Structure 1
Amino acid sequence: MDESTQEQDMAFVDPHSRFNPYMPPISTNYSRLKPKSSYNYVAATPTTTPTTAYPPSTYHHHYRPASSASFTSFVPPSVAEQTTFSRSPASTSSQVSDPPRQYFNPHKGPPPFTHFPSTESHSSAEREDDHYESIRTQKEQQESDAHVRRARLIAEKNATLKRMEERQLKAQSQSWFEESQRLATEDAHKKDDECRRAEEKRRMEQAKAEERRAHSSGRERRYERERSQTPDIPNWTNGKGHDGRFKDEHGFDSGSERAKTGNRSRESGKARERVDKNQPQRPNSPSSVADAWATYEKACAELMGANPSDEKMKSSLNFYTIPWPVLGQAKSFHDLTSQSIAAFILSPHHSQGKTPRARLRAAILVWHPDKFAQKVLPRVTDSHRLAVSAGSDIIARVLTELISTHGN
């Protein structure tokens, strides 16, 4: 084997063991490389060049330290070789050996090529990052908008449910109010019928008493007229009849006549008593106002002094058992007016030792909304609780207006 053939059989040992299916032509064009100081490439021989593919883990690089003989073994190529190849390597000095030609290894791929990022690739990467950032920002904004829409829908739903509940409570209160008005109207009609019947009965009794009184007075006048026309009784009878009883100037038995007159007077007295009993007591009389005020103060003391947590006192009150500050029992909201409340609390027939302002302050302590709701409302039945609460609010508002009026 001559030297040229030996140089052609030289192979470059590549550290990367990859198989490249595309076989590029073998080129001996190479530039002058600075050799390493401690190693040198050797010529490829059948014993040093592998002919089969080895696994990457078992393929090793075999380097041999450079020797002085290796520096002198290489000679410049001949003229034929220079004409065969497009470019011949430059001659080297005897001190530095030329690098070997590069030969293709079918079991290895091409050497890796390091790409450095250019300005255009950097700009495109920045644009791509900006694009991804804008997409992420849009997604976050969409999620935020969706969250806001869900919160708004939930708020609208809650508001709708609240309005529906308020309308239901209002309708229930209105129905209860109409029912209470109907019952109050029926009670008022019944009371009017009773008063009318009592008045008719009283008038009948009075007419009968007047008739009896007129009849008795007519009889007395007739007796007087007959007495003036009757002559004197003879003395031989000594005022006695045949039965031995004394006769009056009219010739009648004086004892029986007096008894009849006494009976008539007693009957007239009883009739007058019945008429007086049937006559209703005036509601605005001083005695009735004083009695109503005493009853009101006692009921308020019991109402505010009871314990709301007591099981016996729960659900024992309703609209008709509340001691409203009016004269008489309130049957509906129409009875809780400013005039009726002021006439009852500021009446001159009770609490003469207190000023009007002191009376109003004592009343507002009972009918304050918070205190009333804490003390009284838990003990009111469920069907009457809304009506009692509305009535207490009316009383508190009227008392506040009266306090401001009397304070000024």
Structure 2
Amino acid sequence: MKINNWRGKLAVTLAASGLLSPAAARAANLNTNLVVNPGFESTDFITTGDYGAPSILDWSGGPGFAYSHNPDVTSVPDYADGADPPGAGNWYFTANNNPGSATGDFREPGLFYQDIDVSTGPTAAAIAAGKGRVNLSAWMSSYLNDNDFGKVRVDYLDAGGASQGFSQISDNDPGPDNVWSQTTGFGAIAVGTAKLRVSLFGEAVNNGSDAYIDNVDVQVSQTTNPQFLSLEINTVTGQVQFKNQTGDAVQVDYYEIKSAAGSLKPASWTSLQDQNLASFPAGNGSGNGWEEAGGVAAGVLSESFLTGSSSVAAAASVSLGAAFDTAKAQDVVFRYAVVPPASLTADFDADGDADGADFLAWQRNNGLATGATKAQGDANGDGAVNADDLAAWKLQFGGGGFAGPGVLVRGVVTYVGAGIAAVPEPTSLLYCGFAVAAAVAFRRRASS
């Protein structure tokens, strides 16, 4: 059986010659699914994989192949468990059909993908303002009692094709009871993103990666508030301040301001350590507060709170003094490290800490052997409430709030002053999922 048409063949030819890409098939509007062929209904039997599976059109890499929801009609097997997703057609993507790879699977991002151009139009405007958000959705399933599961990842690519971070969703019910179910998620899009690279792949647990994906939906929306802190530079006075206009408090433990042209003024920089504010305490050299980093110069100003962090309140502005040389180039890059909320498995009442109330929850249910929930005192997810969960509570007792190290983020830089409009820093980036790993040597800046 051959399922193709002249339009599909033409698209394959044009894509192969570089004259057409999947992203070119649809305008990058807000609140619209930007994925071309999201349900994999456009297929071609010119190239087939294992079990006679047809190749999937409009996606790059691979080639990737499709299994069928309707094997009696298509003569291609259906290995996915569970009732078909709403609106499903004949086909779905399978991660375990990649004959060209050493493993025979798609196990990594970038092997089967689609690039979506978001460099123009309303998506570009939202992203440039630091207000772009990606909304992800997909239906996923697996095979029999395998623990394999699917993943959908969106990398934020700049104009040069470099990834500036990513957001990712994974099948929300992996394991032997995995059936077709919808998984959703979202993430802030890095300022400076020109393309979204949507990759589909699977996590192999039992032999091959039996991960199945259908009805992929990737949308860009505009949030009310910017996603990032901004560094405001007055080009007349040289005053510098960072602002939190995200709408929520942001917990930080590091920041740096860089200029390749040497446009910074260390002598008139008023650091957090200099100011010793109540919410930004100065350290004494042991990392117990904010301390200036070694190597401070006209090219870089930075500070860190090594053993803790501080909250930048919503709508707060924090001055750093006249740290910008108004006679120099406007090439400043601003980065800061966001500290994530602490993960407390023994916070049984979900109030943000591990305390006496959580101990009482464990005590009331101690001895439950099966079917226990976290709210009942099961800290390790094994369905029982016992001494192991008490041990977890003891380790976490008194804990709450935030736990470092922070995740490094490049904020938005705006220049203000007479006759100069606010301009987003074009290379602002978000590094999702990568903790700050480099140790920073600190010392007090030499007074001048």
Q: With the length of structure 2 as denominator, give the TM-score of the two structures.
A: 0.16
Which of the two has higher C-alpha Rg? 1
